[in-house]
Chains A and B, each alone.
Chain A
């Protein structure tokens, strides 16, 4: 993608606008100046013409100029009586026939530009000729070289000033943009200084004090905090997973190494092999759990609908042997079992099995694990799997669904759990648009509540409850 520069864009638009304003201002100003100049020029022309007219006198029936005043030699004029008789002429005869006569205003005479005014049939009330007032035509022209060169100088000066102003303005604008965007660069620099090892990020004070940058800075801070939390979670998971796997391998390895050392009887070897096999099964279970967790967390939501009974009943049956071994009963109320819920049969089976296994492991012998299904006001179903175990301490509650978390460490080791069962359950429930939470009264047991949407209920965008 082509990269664009905000700085350049702002500068170009700003200069373009300034250029248009400056050029139109320049044009307007110059036009006005020119008009004023021409008006003054014409006024002078008319003044000179009036002076000329005033000096016409009648001498024996002949009109003529009294005591011809010196007219500047480069001014042209002619004065003609109505009869066509030339009274006075300054310039050549050509003036009479020339286009000047027909188109007064601007003309070229002997290579020079002139501007002229022609007054036709001006009556002279004071000078009577044969009983009627004399009538004359007067044309007067002055060279425009002076005012033209003056105007040219004006144009050059104004244009120079305008261009200079535009250049200066561009420089100042560029400096202002660079200075104005400095906090943004600063922010970017701080952000780019971060990596997986160094999460320290502080919005520069200058950026925080900038109205436009403060929201970006705050958003970045929050984003980084969230990323760091997620990153830390993943890092802890990898570390925990590594610890579990290495321990599992250490067990297998040490079992075999013990078997290798010293002679044993046949039954002794058989015992050793059985132990090694048990260790391997445990490692296999750990790997399976971890892979299941990874696949359930790999995203996507399931849309399938199933009958609650199809996943719940087989799961309870599956755990019958374990329950018997631990001397714990599983009791279930049968209401709502025929209901349809949103959730994949296989995935829900894993959920029930994991939660039930957890409940069984925390139950004292002779106790009962109850599976209770309730309908909520918004037509969702809530499955509560409760045990009569020791319950969960308040400080452990927020962590029970975390991967590898074991509230009661020493006992969990004995029961052979890895602390992944509830994490898998949570991940699968959320994938099926449900939610999972844990209620507990210390000393009186815990209850895992799984809320599943039904096709009749409205599914909220994010059904997870924490």
Chain B
């Protein structure tokens, strides 16, 4: 998963970034002003955007309006310092998906962020299941047939995205959602992660779950009977 943080207060942006990257294990991009934020949001596919309202150059509200009028459906979590009903209603009506007022609890921010991403991808809970493969987004654990499988953080990211999408995912899309704006540099290592995951999940004797769709990408699906 890849998240964009638009927050002009650098120290706060840094803390949120650290929380999202280290605690939730997502790839993160940060913008310190509205224009930069809009540019990033329009040119990349994010799984969610954390947006501050009081921004230089372009306000959070204007950014949100541009994003929505361009047809972008990326879930947006707004950080606000004002807590009145009127502006909350305005925000939600303008296309925000959730909001949190400052000072917020980092744990709550991450939980809301994960819930937004989960909902956007059509899942009701943090537990993703394909056949006997289970992934828990909260505890970040992977189980097959009830047995815990130890995966590296990057392997986890790949698996989480594939299981959340439940469709064929292209290499580019996968890379875009695993890394920040530097993703192109990492195009060669993707195959390494996939083969590593295969070794751990699709062990000998077990039905194959990770499939390569030639010319398209990868998909995780239950074996056909």
Contacts and interface: CB of A to CB of B under 8 A. Distances in A.
Contacts of B111: none
Interface in B3-55: 8-12, 15-16, 18-19, 22-23, 32-33, 54-55
A247 B9 contact: yes
B106 A253 contact: yes
A257 B105 CA distance: 8
Interface string A242-270: 11001101111111011001100000000
B167 interface: no
Contacts of A410: 8, 32-33, 56-57
A413 interface: yes
B81 interface: yes
Interface of A: 239, 242-243, 246-247, 249-255, 257-258, 261-262, 279, 282, 406, 408-410, 413-414
A409 B9 contact: no
B102 A257 contact: no
Nearest to B34: A409
Contacts of A246: 81, 101-103
B182 to A, nearest CB: 22
Q: By CB atoms of chain A within 10 A, which of B8, B19, B23 has the most?
A: B8
Interface of B: 8-12, 15-16, 18-19, 22-23, 32-33, 54-57, 79, 81-82, 101-107
B23 A261 contact: yes
A362 to B, nearest CB: 16
Q: Which 9 A-B pairs have the closest CB atoms?
A: A409-B56, A250-B103, A254-B15, A243-B81, A257-B106, A246-B102, A249-B103, A250-B102, A246-B81
A262 B82 contact: no
A292 to B, nearest CB: 22
A254 B54 contact: no
A409 B8 contact: yes
A251 B8 contact: no
A413 B22 CA distance: 25
Contact of B16 (A242, A254, A261, A406): A254
Contact of B11 (A243, A279, A408): A279
A250 B12 contact: yes
A251 B11 contact: yes
Contacts of A242: 81-82
B12 A254 contact: yes
A414 B33 CA distance: 12
B102 to A, nearest CB: 4
Contact of A251 (B12, B57, B105): B12
B15 A413 contact: no
A interface, by DSSP: helix, strand, loop or mixed? helix
A247 B32 contact: no
Query: Most A CB atoms within 10 A — which of B12, B55, B107?
Result: B12
A250 B104 contact: yes
Given A242-B81, A243-B81, A413-B32, A253 B105 contact: yes
Contact of B8 (A249, A255, A413): A413
Contact of A258 (B81, B101, B103, B106): B106
Contacts of A279: 11
Given A253-B103, A257-B106, 17 more contacts: A243-B82, A243-B102, A246-B81, A246-B101, A247-B9, A247-B12, A247-B102, A254-B12, A254-B16, A254-B104, A255-B15, A257-B19, A258-B19, A262-B23, A409-B56, A413-B56, A414-B10
Contact of A409 (B19, B57, B107): B57
A237 to B, nearest CB: 14
Contacts of A243: 54, 81-82, 102
A193 to B, nearest CB: 22
Given A410-B56, A413-B10, A249 B15 contact: no
15 contacts: A242-B82, A243-B81, A247-B9, A247-B102, A247-B103, A250-B103, A250-B104, A251-B12, A258-B19, A258-B106, A262-B23, A410-B56, A410-B57, A413-B8, A414-B10
A196 to B, nearest CB: 14
B15 A258 contact: yes
B88 to A, nearest CB: 15
A80 B79 CA distance: 130
Contacts of B18: 258
A262 B22 contact: yes
Given A406-B56, A409-B8, A410-B56, A254 B82 contact: no
A255 B19 CA distance: 9
